[in-house]
Structure 1
Amino acid sequence: MSIQDRVGAFCPHGDIRIEGKPGGPLSGLTFAAKDLFDVAGHVTGAGNPDWLATHAPASATASAVQKLLDAGASLAGKVITDELAYSLSGVNMHYGTPVNAAAPDRLPGGSSSGSAAAVAAGLVDTALGTDTGGSVRVPANNCGLYGIRTTHGRVAKDGLVPLADSFDTVGWFARDAAMLARVGEALLGPRERIPHGRILIASDCFALADPAARAALEPALQQAIKAVGPRHYLTINPDGFPAWQTAFRLIQGHEAWTTHGDWITRTQPKMAPEIMERFVAGSKVTAEELARANAVRVRVRKRIAAVLQPGDVLCLPTSSGPAAQKTISKEAENAYRMAMLQLTCTAGLAGLPQVTLPLAKLDGAPVGLSLAALPGSDWLLLELAERLAG
């Protein structure tokens, strides 16, 4: 397994290569793992040199990694993540920004930046990522890939550096829908036949996308309508997305600080200022703010349960448009992130699976269409992705 990393996706620390089990269903395939997943005998770096320096080698391999190895896929190495997974940009001030092979002048998206970059550049067949607030969906959108955020809790998270446990999920990337599903057979188990019902088009989500992006996605949307069946347009969020996004951000910040606050206080790590600011903000979330945010989360779940029936598919844009240019200012990047969270927060708050399909382009850069469904409907989405890729 010799890889020429021409896009800067792989971690500079460690050289982890493990051959998969011979004769497995994924034999002959290669994968990369985001540097949040443990591999026995190696230190997990979490995108930050001070984390790397203050943690011992893992005593066991994360079960998501092990399942792929047991299925025959070979691990080609660890790939870069945004620091502690707390960013959607794909920029890492310590290790660099992996190149987006689909749009080299644009950001790859994060926090699973190296995972997406490695797959988009053809360095590996698939790559493991994580998704808390969009960290698989956004890079898949930006890099022109198929990607899945699984139902919360569907894929085990042992051996994974957490960010916000009640939102954290395991996901993966592929260049085609068939590969996305093959990996699903290893991580989710055998295919499940889930009859599809209606396609619900989230008009308020499409309203958050740039007009040019909506126009670019229209043929893909019509293709999805044709594949799924009866269509219905609806407003998914009667509260307005700023309310949902704020609730998500408060809960995520509180959980992130609860998880990593002691280490940050003790170590005083060198960290990108905008990421440190998010941790500090999380430390200041009050009990009252957290209670209100959790009440919003309850309302979100009730709303989703009220409008989605088993087999229904919710259709929305993955992002407001193509990836941001590399030259974007920090202020504009933060505004971009906050706007992005309005589109990604629904799946997080409701624990939904969501697949991203690279079915459109705008100004030469990819734009993704997303399908989401009720928790546990992962195979429904993977099989619809295969049908749409047709």
Structure 2
Amino acid sequence: MTADTDWNAFVPGEVFSIQEQADGPLAGLTMSVKDLFDIAGHATGAGNPDWRASHAVPLQHAELFQSLLNAGARFVGKTITEELAYSLVGENVHYGTPVNPHNPDCIPGGSSSGAAAAAAAGLCDFSIGTDTAGSVRLPASFCGLWGFRPTHGVLSTQGVVPLAPSFDTPGWMSKSWDHFLRVGSVLLPPDQQGREFGHLKLALPEDIWGLVHPGFGKALKPFTDRIARLFNGEVKDPLSQGRLIDWQDPFRLVQGHEAWSMHGPWIRSQKPQLGPGIKERFEWASTINDEQAQVARADMLKNVAVVNAYLEGAVICLPTVSYLAPQKGHASSAEDRTNALTLLSLASMAGLPQITMPLAVLDGKALGLSLMSRRFSDRQLLSLPQQFPGLQYQP
């Protein structure tokens, strides 16, 4: 393993070891966890020194973390997160930006930036992060990792700092397919959806694929063609009637309203130092009133119903993110950010499981391909890549 000084993945002073079981299904594997998870005897920082200083040191482990220890995994450190997990870039003004091991000159993506860097650099076998609006999926895609966002609610958030509880879920990343699968086998409950995917269509909705950068379709077509052989045909019917780009607006409002409900009182009382982007995002969130949030939630649920109906007959295949990782210091365009959130918010608002797969490289950068399926089909979705004919997984 290389030293963390090469990658800036871990919170300063938070590289230490815990192992409670010598055997179990995860025995021999090392893990890191995002600095939103409580670890007994260690302050939870949530990416912000003022948060760390103003909250009591937890007396017990977060429930999910404890379950991984019980399965035999060995913990090796807490990873940097963007402040209160409210960004997708991966930068942290207090602790610095974790290095993207796949493309060191590019951002790692966030908010689980340190988790992605640690897994991609080989500092651990798998990383636990959280995903509210793409914070596992986007950094996994940018750093060339397997990443999984489970059905909302199937994994415990007890002992995890929230952002927007309607969408928050733990998730995990790994460079190794085998390690990735082993973690899911431990964490995921039995599926509640019994129908086999082979009876469904593989959907590549034209309105989704129309939002991604040129070149993605050609780079990913060899993989989508092979994946399609496992399904009962392929469809490209759009999800929306020409307004998919608008779907992220009500999601953002609901997310922002919940984020301010969670952290507004602390921000007002403590007046913490928040970094650029995070500060302005919370300021905007503070302006969303209850009536606006209620209307936005109603609009969002209408879109959720459309997605759920679409998934009755299909599994959706899409690029994980609409653009490639930008270079450090070169912010992505507003159009790219909007398109990316449109793609990422689909699983978030509907509470769906989504797997991102490190199958392709374009212009030297990692390009993740995702599959998204109905709620409570997590294990089925996780095992699907085992069946792909002839796919070569990128290291």
TM-score interval (norm. to shorter): over 0.9
1:289: Cα distance to partner? Answer: 2.0
Letter in 1 for 2:187: L
Aligned-partner residue type, residue 26 of structure 1 = L
SS at match of 1:386: helix
Match of 2:226, SS state, is helix
Residue aligning to 1:254: 257
Identify the range of structure 1 (10-19 vs 69-78) with the bigger mean alpha-carbon deviation.
10-19
Matched, 1:216 2:215: no
Structure 1: 5+ residue stretches without partners: none
> 1:236/1:266 Cα in 2 relative to 1: closer, same or farther (>3 Å)?
same
Corresponding position of 2:13: 13
2:235 aligns to what? 232
1:273 corresponds, among 270, 276, 285, to 276
CA shift, 1:35, in A, is 0.3
* 1:129 corresponding residue in structure 2: 129
Counterpart position of 1:156: 156
| Cα separation, 1, equivalents of 2:297 and 2:259 | 15
Residue of structure 2 in register with 1:188 after alignment: 188
Partner SS for 1:340: helix
The two structures have a TM-score, normalised by structure 1, of: 0.95
Name the % identity.
Answer: 45
Amino acid at match of 2:306: R
Distance 2:381 2:146 in 1: 11
In structure 2, distance between residues paired with 1:33 and 1:216: 32
Residues 180 and 382 of structure 1 are in contact (CA less than 8 Å); yes or no, is this contact kept in structure 2? no
> 1:190 deviation in Å?
5.8
Partner of 2:310: 307
Name the TM-score, length of structure 2 as normaliser.
0.93
Q: Provide, for residues 340-370 of structure 1, a one-character-per-residue CA deviation record: whole Å limited to 9, x for no partner.
A: 1111111111111100011111111110111
1:105-144 alignment, distance < 5 Å: 105-144=105-144
Deviation string 1:111-167 (CA, Å, 9 cap, x unpaired) is 000111111011111010100000001001100111001100010110000000001
Q: Residues 100 and 21 of structure 1: is their aligned pair in 2 closer, same or farther, counting only changes over 3 Å?
A: same
The aligned residue for residue 374 of structure 2 is 374
Q: Give 1:1-390 correspondences, 5 Å limit.
A: 4-5=3-4, 6-189=6-189, 195-196=196-197, 197-238=200-241, 240-309=243-312, 312-329=314-331, 332=332, 336-388=336-388
- 1:287 deviates by 3.0
Shift of 1:20: 4.1
Please report how far the alpha carbon of residue 67 of structure 1 lies from its aligned counterpart in structure 2 after TM superposition: 1.1
CA contact (8 A) 1:111 1:135 kept: yes
Task: Return the offset for 1:171.
Answer: 0.3
**Take 2:140 and 2:195, find their aligned partners in 1: how far apart are those partners?**
25
Contact 2:191 2:380 in 1 (8 A): no
Q: In structure 2, how many angstroms separate the alpha carbons of the residues matched to 1:236 and 1:179? A: 34
For the 8 Å contact 1:89–1:333, the answer to whether it is kept is no
2:281 alignment partner AA: R
Deviation at 1:276, TM superposition (A): 1.1
Give the CA deviation at 1:300.
1.6
- CA displacement at 1:295 relative to structure 2: 1.4
CA-CA distance at 1:335 after TM superposition:
5.1
Between 1:225-234 and 1:354-363, the stretch displaced more is 225-234
Where in structure 2 are there 5+ consecutive unaligned residues?
Answer: none
CA distance in 1, matches of 2:196, 2:379: 10
Distance 1:274 1:122 in 2: 30
d(CA) in 2 for partners of 1:215, 1:378: 28
- Post-superposition offset of 1:198: 2.1
